[in-house]
Amino acid sequence: MLIMMNRMQQPVYLTIGKFCPLSLQAFIQVSKAAFSYATVLKTV
């Protein structure tokens, strides 16, 4: 239980190739752009 509580105090980050952390806003923007490109390619 103590180990889990200690881990919960540290924030969880997604990293881009172990170079820099990816924020939630940046992840959402990348996801929206990828979906937009996929839908454009699907319609062409």
Residues 23-37: pLDDT tens digits? 888 888 989 999 999
pTM for the complete prediction? 0.55
> DSSP labels for the chain?
-HHHHHHHTSPP-EEETTTEEE-HHHHHHHHHHHHHHHHHHHH-
Q: 14 and 27 in contact (C-beta within 8 Å)?
A: yes
Instruction: Look at the block and give the residue holding tokens 């319609």.
Output: 43
Average pLDDT over residues 11-19: 77
Sequence ranges of the domains in the chain: 13-43
Q: pLDDT value at position 18?
A: 75
As given in the structure block, the two tokens for residue 21 are: 């952390």
